[in-house]
Amino acid sequence: MNELEQFYEKLNKSDYDHRSSHDINSELQKISTILNEKKDYKTLEISELERQAFSITKSFNKVEDSDKGTINGLSWKMSGTQTFEDGSTGSLYWPDVRNLKNDDFQYFENRYKTCENLYAKTEFGLLMYFGTQTAYSKHIDFKKSLFKDLFDLSQYYLNKAKKPDDKNHYILDYYTTFKNAFLIAYKSKLIEELEQIVKSVSETHNGWDIRMDGTLRVLIDLSSLTSEYFKVFKDKVDYNKILLKNKQGAEEIEKNHIWGAIYVTNANIEIAKKTNKQIDSFLEYKAELYLKLSDDAEKGGNMAAVTFTENALRIYQQVKNKERVTEVEKKYSEQRGKFKLATIRQDFPKEHTDKITQNIKETVSAVNENDIIHYLIITPWYNKIESIKLMANDTKKRSLLKSLFSSSILDKYGNTIDTFNTEEEKDAFNFWQSYGYNFQIGTQTMYQFFIEAFKAGKISYNSILMYLEQTWFNEPIIRNYNGEAFGILPIDLIKPGIKRMFIELDSFYADNDYELDYVTIVDSLVLKIETLIRNFCEKIGIATFKTRQKGNDKLVMEKLLDDLLADVKSSDINHTGFDEEDRIFIKYVLSEKAGLNLRNQVAHGLMDINEYSLDNIIVILSIILKISKYSFTKK
């Protein structure tokens, strides 16, 4: 009997379960090492396949995606990046389920039929079920057999979870295994097995002692299962009992875990909706829980208190509880001005800043006025989008816990102005955060460059005007108003703001006590950028308006800035020629809620006097110059 056969025998006699997976892997690694030393490569290959069988992730949530190393139901345990001999890189997955062959699945079938350990048996069975590579794996008898094994294993885990000394959190293994059993019965239309599931859900949920550990998972998981697969359960379980038990459980959980009580209440709200029962009492209880969270956060000086109060307020507005709306509105107003946003500061070494300053001075000294404008157009101080994406991805990998949670943006008043919940939204938020860090550093450098150029007399209103007069800004755009043709020049709208900018700078450097008028310049030029983008769209034939329906009436309205920025995005089917680096830069500065959002801030009067700055003005000037760089030819 070789080492692997000895392992088979030990496994059959063991009480190994999911919590023993690390031990199983370690034993098989040792066996593989021994077999390799003996040069028994044939058995070594089988030993490694056995080890992979326990390591492969098995889940109904996994879908086939070769690029991500998955096939239906099966996925890797570890992933990384490998470097090839030519220096290129590619994804590395272990186990790589894409390489499994028919013979491998036949091995899994043989192990399923001969293995006596219930946990191991279900692991091989799930590999067969998802792989569907053997004839037996497609038989209804196999599916019934696998259901029984999974159901029995789930009850084993459930009994373990009920023990007061359970420190292994077997309740998690219970539900994972139980749901796999359910889904096999559900997808295979196993009527008797589904009846067994329904009965078990009712008995376990209604009979659970809410004072025990694991209450949160049992109540949420089982009741949510009946809600998610409502058609299976709707005429077979007593939803009144489920709702009552959840309410009792939430009140018990609330003593130590308010969020847990909210999760259970959310499950009740979903069930009540599907069963056409009133939900207001559940909503109001949820609102009170949010207010408790708010009170706790406020005591700890945590600004999340504002968000919790806002959540409660919205719920009371939803249920039209006017008395509570008035009370919570007052609380919200008092709270939102209390908290100070944290500031993250990163100082660069003096040698680094000295080197940047020296480089700027040398560059300004060596170039002429047109070169200065060119630098403000290409803005070499900012990283490219691809580099920022890599930074964002790296941040995500190093902050896995943070990526599990939603993010939100609060304005200075404490109002939530945007949220990021889905994976796509979280990735976008991560990108904009990385873009923001890069933007701050780049803008500091551009500010230094501009001031140095201004003091050297290499940028002025006249030099800017002479440049702009040679661009499309100085080409007429013909419009028809009431049957008459009018020619407009884009440059005419921005000249006053730019002129004022340099008048103010001249005054300040002539008298350091002079107070610059940032407000007039920023307010004027920020709004004119939207006009320039609208003009750009006109030049390339993109409609600047959109239609909408109001009752039976068809209305026409001008597109908003975000619409225009989306329209100028260049692609294979929409070749606008607009530089994507410029587009993202403009979006961050003017309209992105995770960015400066200057257009909204200015248009709605949300900026305080201290928020206007020369930094803003220089960035705005750079955007105007970026938009001016295009030229148009008739096709």
- How large is the average pLDDT for residues 336-350? 58
- How large is the average pLDDT for residues 380-405? 71
Task: Please indicate whether residue 544 or residue 153 has the higher confidence score (pLDDT).
Answer: 153
The predicted structure's pLDDT at residue 347: 56
pLDDT at 417 over 60: no
Closest-CA residue to 303 (of 271, 255, 337, 263) = 337
Q: Any idea which residue has 């884009």 for tokens?
A: 490
The predicted structure's pLDDT at residue 573: 82
80 C-beta neighbours (distance < 10 Å), count: 9
Q: Any idea which residue has 């230094």 for tokens?
A: 448
The percent of residues in the chain predicted with pLDDT above 70, rounded, is 93
204 pLDDT band, cuts 50/70/90, is very high
Q: Any idea which residue has 């796999």 for tokens?
A: 180
Q: What's the length of the chain?
A: 635
- How large is the average pLDDT for residues 351-377? 89
**Are 150 and 122 in contact, with CB atoms under 8 Å apart?**
yes
Give the Cα separation of 150 and 152 in Å (integer): 5
The predicted structure's pLDDT at residue 400: 44
pLDDT at 84 over 80: no
pLDDT tens digits along 458-503: 999 999 999 999 999 999 988 777 778 788 899 999 999 999 999 9
pLDDT at 408 over 70: no
Mapped onto helix, strand or coil, the DSSP state of residue 468 is: helix
pLDDT at 218 over 50: yes
pLDDT at 239 over 80: yes
- Residue 71 tokens read as 């096939």
Against a cut of 0.75, is the pTM above it?
no
404 pLDDT band, cuts 50/70/90, is very low
pLDDT tens digits along 279-293: 999 999 999 999 999
The predicted structure's pLDDT at residue 531: 94
The overall average pLDDT reported for the chain is 89
pLDDT at 512 over 90: no
pLDDT tens digits along 546-597: 877 777 777 788 898 999 999 999 888 888 889 999 999 999 999 988 889 9
The predicted structure's pLDDT at residue 289: 96
The predicted structure's pLDDT at residue 478: 84
The predicted structure's pLDDT at residue 485: 79
The percent of residues in the chain predicted with pLDDT above 90, rounded, is 66
Give the Cα separation of 222 and 200 in Å (integer): 10
The predicted structure's pLDDT at residue 297: 86
The predicted structure's pLDDT at residue 419: 57
**Are 567 and 560 in contact, with CB atoms under 8 Å apart?**
no
pLDDT tens digits along 128-151: 999 999 999 999 999 999 999 999
Give the Cα separation of 332 and 294 in Å (integer): 10
